[in-house]
Chains A and B, each alone.
Chain A
Amino acid sequence: MNTETIAPREYQIYSGDDLRTNVLEISMGPQHPSTHGVFRMDVSLDGETVVKLKPVFGYLHRNHEKIAETTSYLGSMPYTDRLDYFCSMTNNWAYALAVEKMAGLAVPERAEYIRVIMAELTRLQNHASLVGFLTNDLGASGTPLLYAIREREHILDLFEWASGARMMCNYMRFGGVRNDLPSGWLAQCKKVVDDFPAFMDEFETLLTGNEIILSRCQNVGVLPRDLAINASITGPCLRASGVDYDIRKVDKYGVYDRFDFKVPLGSVGDCYDRFMIRLLEMRESVKILKQALATIPEGPVNDSKARNFRPKPAEAYGRIEGPKGELGFYLVSDGTPKPHRYHVRPPSFINLTVLEDMCLGQKIADAVIILGSIDIVLGEVDR
Chain B
Amino acid sequence: MSVRPKAWLYLCGGRVLMERHPHAYDECLRCEGNPKYIEDIRKDIHRQFPMHEMFSSEDKPGQQELYNVLKAYTVHFPDIGYCQAQAPVAAFLLMHMPAVQAFWCLVSISNRYLEDYYSPTMEVVQRDGLILQGLLKKVCPPVYRHLKKVNAEPMFYCTEWFLCAFTRTLPWDTLLRIWDIFLCEGVKVLFKTALVILIGCLGTAKSRKQCPGLCETLDRLRNPPEDVLSEEHLIYNVTRLDISEQDFQEQHQKQAKKLKLNSLKSSNGSSR
Co-assembled chains A and B: no
